[in-house]
Structure 1
Amino acid sequence: MQPVQSATAEDAFMATILALGRRMRQRLPGDELDYSLLPVLRVLAESGPARHTVLAERLLLDASTVSRKIRHLEERGLVRVSPDAADGRARQVELLPSGLRALEQLLARRRDVIAEVLDGWPEADRALLHQLLDRFNNDLSGTAHVSIQEDPST
């Protein structure tokens, strides 16, 4: 077997990552919410109410993209948008209990898919996969090539 050329290995790795992302974002039977809204729900669940601008910064998205996502969540009754008490011009976004339930459902369904795929893998392989993906993610976030305009949900 000949060694894989660097560019070829990187291209294959990139194709694998893109395919993995597409599979994880696919709507599963019974999903009531688009997976692309998950990052907004997750930030609100972890950090509490926040302004649109703060959400955009945390999600590495532009403000207009975040506003669209928030509008979808508000229309579904998953978040509440209200004037910011400190600055009436700004708007605060708050996760509602229904939004937390929707987030938990999305995460549980994806977790079940991952558990099914990894079922039967030796623990050492599971740990190695986690270690390498974590390392890659950490190294990627430290590069100058990652644009703050990229949507982490895609």
Structure 2
Amino acid sequence: MPTSQDMTTHLDPGLLDALQHQVAVFARRAEQTRLGGVGQVRNSMDRAAYLLLNRLDREGPMGVKALAAGMGIDSSTVTRQVAPLVDTGLVKRTSHPEDGRAVVLQLSPRGQARLEEVRSSRRELMAQVTDGWTETERESFCTLLTRFNTALSARQAGLPSVDTETPPAS
């Protein structure tokens, strides 16, 4: 089995150093700005809340375990992150239609409206940050960033790297 050292010997170390540096800078900048958008809703929704609401919007009502599995995190983490969303009325807890004992999480109308405000603000930020880029450059960046995130997710899950060009899910 090849070692990590074996896999990188044929790659340009300078390029790998530059890549890891740019990823670190991106992570710091993303955390500092929270990529929250512009205007009144700037920075007004944290990353965890945004990702949870976004997944519920795209995939519909689901239980905590399904939500956790889809996001690649622990159920207890989802439970902890969802609690304030329920408290503020952005997410509703309802009974499962087939098993009344099970709880299903669902985006509330208030959550839907709030999510759209944040999405709109973040779309504006992305437009501003990529001002001067061509549509092809934006598409290429999105494709490469999606591939990068997919590879990181696969590595975190202990799976072999999957090279796909799927659009971003969350």
Task: Give TM-score scaled by structure 1 length.
Answer: 0.77
Give yes or no for contact 1:48–1:94 (8 Å, CA) kept in 2: yes
Per mean C-alpha deviation after superposition, the further-off stretch among 18-27 and 40-49 is 18-27
Confirm or deny that 1:106 pairs with 2:115.
no
Q: Which amino acid aligns with 2:87?
A: E
What per-residue deviation string (whole Å, max 9, x for no partner) do you get for residues 41-85 of structure 1?
A: 111111111111111111111111111121111111111112334
Where do residues 92-103 of structure 1 align in structure 2 (5 Å cutoff)? 92-103=104-115
> How far is 1:108 from its partner?
1.0
Give the aligned residue type for 1:17.
Answer: F
Q: Could you list the runs of 4 or more consecutive aligned residues of structure 1 that deviate by over 6 angstroms after TM superposition? A: none
Aligned to 2:156: 146
The percentage of counterpart residues that share the same residue type is 31
Q: Deviations over 1:23-51 (max 9, x none)?
A: 56255563343332011111111111111
Taking structure 2 as the reference length, the TM-score comes to: 0.70
SS state of the match for residue 40, structure 2? coil
Aligned residues: 145
RMSD of aligned C-alpha atoms?
2.7
Match in the other structure for 1:22: 31
Q: Which sections of structure 1, spanning at least 5 residues, go unmatched? A: none
Work out which of the residue numbers 40, 47, 53 in structure 1 matches 2:52.
Answer: 40
Where structure 2 has 5 or more consecutive residues not aligned to the other structure, the ranges are 1-11, 159-169
Q: Which has the bigger relative contact order, CA under 8 A and spacing at least 6?
A: 1
Structure 2 counterpart of 1:84, from 96, 101, 110? 96
Q: Is the 8 A contact 1:25 1:36 kept in 2?
A: no
Change beyond 3 A, Cα 1:138–1:34: closer
Shift of 1:98: 0.7
